[in-house]
């Protein structure tokens, strides 16, 4: 069964450093998302991406964050200058679409645990 994959599974970084989290969405999916989950809390939406541009973003997704689809398979989340409060589990998700119509089901990857020291 196709699945969303994410690398690395765990990333430890120093405060102020840049990190890039990588995702490979399901191959025929057109819509891509990043969510985060601070330990013990709910899953929070960060950003959605379609047709090589951001379609929606939350207040969390400030200028320190960026997303990119550098090739036909990868989808990345970059945090430019990490803060302690960026420590969380980051999940990538993808969903199918037909043209601009999204088919609702979002499939999540296993996550990257980001620890900022």
Partner 1 sequence: QQQVKQSPQSLIVQKGGISIINCAYENTAFDYFPWYQQFPGKGPALLIAIRPDVSEKKEGRFTISFNKSAKQFSLHIMDSQPGDSATYFCAASNAGNMLTFGGGTRLMVKP
In terms of Cβ atoms closer than 10 Å to its own Cβ (0-12, 13-18, 19+), residue 42 is exposed
- Contact between 94 and partner 1 per CB under 8 A: no
What is the C-alpha to C-alpha distance for residues 39 and 104, in angstroms, rounded to an integer?
26
Find the binder of partner 1 among 11, 45, 66, 76 (CB under 8 A).
45
By CB under 8 A, is residue 11 in contact with partner 1? no
Is the bond preceding residue 8 a cis peptide, omega within 30 degrees? yes
51 binds partner 1 (CB under 8 A): no
Could you list the residues that contact partner 1 (CB under 8 A)?
4, 31, 33, 35, 41-45, 48, 55-56, 58, 91, 95, 97, 101-111
């Amino acid at each position: 069964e196709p699945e969303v994959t994410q690398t690395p599974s765990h990333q430890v970084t120093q405060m102020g450093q840049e990190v890039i989290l990588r995702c490979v969405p399901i191959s025929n999916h057109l819509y891509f998302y990043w969510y985060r989950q601070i330990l013990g809390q709910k899953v929070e939406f960060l950003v959605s991406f379609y047709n090589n541009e951001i379609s929606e973003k939350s207040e969390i997704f400030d200028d320190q964050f960026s997303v990119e689809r550098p090739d036909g398979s990868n989808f990345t989340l970059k945090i430019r200058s990490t803060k302690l409060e960026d420590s969380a589990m980051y999940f990538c998700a993808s969903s199918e679409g037909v043209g601009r119509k999204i088919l609702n089901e979002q499939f999540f990857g296993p996550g990257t645990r980001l620890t900022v020291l």
